[in-house]
């Protein structure tokens, strides 16, 4: 019997906490004590309702949050650089785009309308890898994301939404990053394009990148098994459940994950009960418990239960040790 190959993370996020002071007594608790690993060749989907802190998490990792934001915790790349602690100069020169790249939410706003796509891709190539032939590299990146090199000679408005989305993935791949953070890359796309974009990100991981896919489209993950490897469920700024995708989506441990799945067409379109908490005014203890006090599905505590590769707050997954 061969021993299992241990996956070595390329990015280890520990205790990431983000606070936006918004007034004399008011603070947005956008992310609280978030920990996860990103592993080469794997896609981790970060899911949760609108406003739960997903985008803030990605922006924190790239240090794109406004001045005055309070960020604590660590996010350590293989080799030792802490994304949250490294000087801005180091981030700009050797990390952003080169080791950690972002696929933004909207291709339309990421691309300049007045220049051809080729000009924009070649500019990024020249900036990140000045020694390579930029035209050849741009063509290679286009092919890699499923575009014809001739497509690059068009202006952004001449591309379909799906093609524009491919261009921003090509831009993210230009510096050959180890980590790709994709923030709602399928927002506003129709179902075939959602599936195509997700398959593209799967192929990016299959070539060795670690991918964080932020999405609230749980349905897309459910209808194509194998698209993502792992799932982290975020609620009110905290990860309430993490684990392999088939386990989390097929047999959720946390009541909130069950509620999210139940709100999908396949789950019966049951609205998530109660209202999402305000992140300036979180209850002590478990915020989901406060929303569903009589569900019997939560002990109201904050304990993280662990079973193999799965974790769940409040409610143990099968086989958990407490
Ligand atoms: N600069 C800021 N100042 C104050 N609050 C902010 C700031 N940026 C984000 N927030 C708040 O942080 C919380 C988390 O926002 P975030 O954009 O991360 O949510 P999300 O999970 O990505 O939602 P969506 O799925 O709608 O994109 C929200 O309450 C938001 O209003
Ligand atoms: Ni709870």
Segment (H or E) for 27: strand 27-38
- Give the model confidence (pLDDT) of 82-99 as tens digits: 999 999 999 999 999 999
Name which residue sits closest to atom 7 of ligand 1, judged by CA: 20
Q: How confident is the model at residue 1 (pLDDT cuts 50, 70, 90)?
A: very low
Ligand 1 atom showing the smallest separation from residue 18 Cα: 12
2 CB less than 6 Å from ligand 1?
no
Please work out whether the CB of residue 199 comes within 6 Å of at least one atom of ligand 1: no
Residues 6 or more apart whose CB falls under 8 angstroms from that of 258 comprise: 252, 297
Protein residue closest via CA to atom 26 of ligand 1: 50
Of all atoms in ligand 1, which is nearest to the CA of residue 48? 21
Of residues 320 and 185, the one with the higher pLDDT is 185
Query: Is the CB of residue 28 less than 8 Å from the CB of residue 60?
Result: no
Average pLDDT over the chain reads 90
Which three-class secondary structure state does DSSP give residue 149? Answer: helix
Cβ of residue 68 lying under 6 Å from some atom of ligand 1: no
For the CA of 279, the nearest ligand: 1
What domains can you pick out in the chain, each with its CATH number? Answer: 11-99+177-275 (3.40.50.300), 109-175 (no CATH)
pLDDT tens by residue, 178-233:
999 999 998 878 888 888 889 999 999 999 999 999 998 888 898 888 999 999 99
In this structure, the chain runs to a length of 322
Instruction: Give the C-alpha separation, 178 to 287, whole Å.
Output: 34
Q: Please say whether the beta carbons of 74 and 113 come within 8 A.
A: no
Nearest ligand to the CA of 293 is 2
Task: Tell me if 38 sits within 8 A of 11, measured CB to CB.
Answer: yes
């Amino acid at each position: 019997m061969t021993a299992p190959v241990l996956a070595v993370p390329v990015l280890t996020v520990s205790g990431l906490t983000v606070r936006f002071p918004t007034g004399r007594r008011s603070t947005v608790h956008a992310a609280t004590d978030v920990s996860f690993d990103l592993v080469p060749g794997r896609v981790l989907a970060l899911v949760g309702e609108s406003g739960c802190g997903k985008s803030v998490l990605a922006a924190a990792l790239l240090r794109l949050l406004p001045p005055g934001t309070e960020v604590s915790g660590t996010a350590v790349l293989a080799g030792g650089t802490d994304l949250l602690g490294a000087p801005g100069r180091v981030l700009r020169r050797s990390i952003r785009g080169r080791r950690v790249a972002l696929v933004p939410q909207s291709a339309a706003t990421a691309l300049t309308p007045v220049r051809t796509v080729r000009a924009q891709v070649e500019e990024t190539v020249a900036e990140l890898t000045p020694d390579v032939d930029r035209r050849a590299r741009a063509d290679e990146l286009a092919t890699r994301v499923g575009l014809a090199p001739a497509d690059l000679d068009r202006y952004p408005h001449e591309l379909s939404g799906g093609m524009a989305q491919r261009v921003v993935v090509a831009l993210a791949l230009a510096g050959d990053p180890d980590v790709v953070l994709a923030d709602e890359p399928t927002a506003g796309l129709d179902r075939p394009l959602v599936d195509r974009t997700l398959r593209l990100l799967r192929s990016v991981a299959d070539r060795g990148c670690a991918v964080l896919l932020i999405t609230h489209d749980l349905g897309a993950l459910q209808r194509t098994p194998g698209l993502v490897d792992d799932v982290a469920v975020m609620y009110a700024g905290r990860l309430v459940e993490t684990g392999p995708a088939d386990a989390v989506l097929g047999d959720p441990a946390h009541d909130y994950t069950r509620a999210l799945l139940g709100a999908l067409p396949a789950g019966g379109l049951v609205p998530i009960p109660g209202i999402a908490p305000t992140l300036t005014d979180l209850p002590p203890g478990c915020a989901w418990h406060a929303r569903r006090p009589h569900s019997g599905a939560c002990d109201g505590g904050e304990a993280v239960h662990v079973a193999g590769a799965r974790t769940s707050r409040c409610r143990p997954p099968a086989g958990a040790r407490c």
